[in-house]
Structure 1
Amino acid sequence: MDPIYGGLAPDEALEIEKLARLLYEVRSARDEVLARLGAADDAQALACIVAGDIPEHPGYEDYLSARILAGLTGQIRAELATRLEEAQSR
């Protein structure tokens, strides 16, 4: 176990580590989708689709995927912050 989890109970540390790994994987997946589109973020991807620089199909589906992954990233971050706060308050 990474020393960063040293002050936590083993079960808490495992759960937090799992959330951190999931956060990394979801962010990486979003980065891959955006790279396929050649866009820095989902707003740029949508602008390129609207301008016709990116084909509508599968561009729009990739754009939606990027948006969903961004939302999921936010949810995981919030859960991770809550878990860390709870663990540190004990």
Structure 2
Amino acid sequence: MTRTTLTRLRPLIASILLFATTTSFSYQASPPGTPDEANLSNHNTYQNHDGATVHAPARSLSGAVPEGASARCRDGTYSFSRHHSGTCSRHGGVADWL
């Protein structure tokens, strides 16, 4: 390759590398299971910042930790959030990470 070709390709290579590193760290795996709707106080959902549909915080009717819960909020609800940022933000904050 000539020096001119490398100079032209440098911004493209930098963009590809930047995209590859930002997407690889922003991916979050799905929770291990989906909650049993019959055991939850509500059946609401929301769209997270990745565009995924996530079950809204809910109380466990049986008292057991619901399948797929990621945190227990200070108000006693369980969160199914896939990211730490904003988890239990309208429920008094996180009491325990699960």
Q: TM-score, normalised by structure 1?
A: 0.36
> Which has the larger share of helix?
1
Give the structure, 1 or 2, with the largest relative contact order (CA under 8 Å, sep 6 or more).
1
Between Structure 1 and Structure 2, the one with more strand by share is 2
